[in-house]
Structure 1
Amino acid sequence: MNGMTGIVIFLLTTLSGGATGMYFSGRLSERCRVINSYITLVQSMNCYIGFSGYKLAEIFRAEQKSSGCYISDKLVELSENGGDISGEWDICVSKSGYLKENDRQILSELGRTIGKSNTDGETAVLALAGQRLSFQLKTAEEERKRKGRLYTTLGIMLGAAVGIMLI
C-alpha cells in the first residue's frame, strides 16, 4: 500500500469515527430539545386550562402545529369525543424523539391522568408533570455536557486507531 492510500484510509476512518461520535452526541441534544418541547406544551396546557377553561381537544388542536411535540389527528379526535387518550398519547410520545424510559414514564402518566379531573386537578397534574420534566431536562443537559464531547472525541480516536491498524 503506498503512502497516499494509507493517508486517505486514515483520514476516512478518522472522519467516519468522528461522524459516528457526533451522531451519538446529537442524540443527547435531541433528547433535551424534545423534553423542552414537552415542558412548553405542559405549560401552555396549564395556561389554557387554568385561565381560559379550554377543553383538551381545543388545546391539542391549537398546539398541534406550533408545538415541537408530535400531536396526531387521532389524539385530537379522541379528546373531542371524550375517549381515553392514553394509548394514542403514548404513541405520540414514542414518535417524539430520543426520550429515555423515565421521560416516557412521566409523559405516559400525564396521558393517563389528563382530562379526567376538574380545573384545579388538571392544573395540579400539569404543574407536577412540568416539574418532573424540568428535572429530567436538567439531568439530560448535564448528561449532554458530560458525554457529548466525549462521544465525539472517542469516535475520532477510535476511527484514527482503526485507520492506523489498516495502514
Structure 2
Amino acid sequence: MLKGIGALLIIISSSLLGILISSKYSIRPKEIRKLRFSLQMLETEIVYGSTPIPYACYNVGCKSDKPWKDFFMRVSENLLKRKFFSLEEAWNDAIVNSLKNSYLTSADKELLRNFGRVIGKSDTEDQKKHFKLIYAQLEHHEKIAEDEKARNEKMYKSMGFLLGAAILIILV
C-alpha cells in the first residue's frame, strides 16, 4: 500500500514537472499576441489621438494585461519623472526591468528594443509604417512560437510522465 502511494506520487510529481516546463511554450504566443494588441492601442493613442507618448503609454498600461501593463506603466513613469533623457532609454529600462519574468526570447526583446529606437522620432505617416512593420514582425515571431509550442509541448508532457516511470522502474 505504501509503495503504491509512493509510486503514484513519483508519477504525479514528474508529470506535473513536465506540464510546468511545457507551459512556457503555450504562454509565449499569448504574450506576443497581447503585445501586438497593446501596440495597436499605442498606435491609436499616438497616431490618431495625438496623445504625447508618456500619457499614451500610461493609457495603454491601464488597459493591458501583464506583463505589458507593467512594461507600459514603467515607460510612462520613466518619462514623466524624467529618469532618462530619451524615450529609447526609458523603453530599454522597461524591457530590462519589467520583462524579467516573461517568457519572451531574446529575439523578441531585441525586436521590441529596435521598435523603441524609432518610436516617436518621426511624423505620423512614418509612425504608421513603423507600427505596420512591427505587427508583421510580431506575427512572424508568433508563428514561430506556435510552431515551437506544437513541437515541444506534447514532448515535455510525455517526458515528464516517462521520467517518473523510469524512476519508478529503477527504484523497484
Matches within 5 A, 1:19-98: 19-68=16-65, 69=68, 70-71=70-71, 73-80=73-80, 83-94=85-96, 95-96=98-99, 97-98=102-103
Per-residue deviation at 1:114? 1.1
CA contact (8 A) 2:58 2:72 kept: no
Distance 1:164 1:9, change over 3 A: farther
Gaps of 5+ in 1: none
Write the distance in 1 (CA, Å) between the matches of 2:46 and 2:140: 23
Q: How many aligned residue pairs are there?
A: 164
Per-residue deviation at 1:73? 4.5
Question: Which TM-score applies when normalising by structure 1?
Answer: 0.87
Tell which has more relative contact order, 1 or 2 (C-alpha 8 A, sep 6+): 1
Matches within 5 A, 1:90-129: 90-94=92-96, 95-96=98-99, 97-129=102-134
Comparing 129-138 with 79-88, greater Cα deviation is found at 79-88
Percent identity between matched residues is 24
In structure 2, the residue corresponding to 1:98 is in which secondary structure?
coil
Comparing 136-145 with 91-100, greater Cα deviation is found at 91-100
CA contact (8 A) 2:74 2:94 kept: no
Question: Which TM-score applies when normalising by structure 2?
Answer: 0.85
TM-superposition CA deviations, 1:95-137 (whole Å, max 9, x none)? 3311011111100111122111111222211111111011101
Per-residue deviation at 1:85? 2.7
Gaps of 5+ in 2: none
RMSD (Å) for aligned C-alpha atoms: 1.9
Write the distance in 1 (CA, Å) between the matches of 2:78 and 2:166: 54
TM-superposition CA deviations, 1:36-81 (whole Å, max 9, x none)? 1111111122222232222211211111121120235442144345
Partner in structure 2 of residue 130 of structure 1: 135
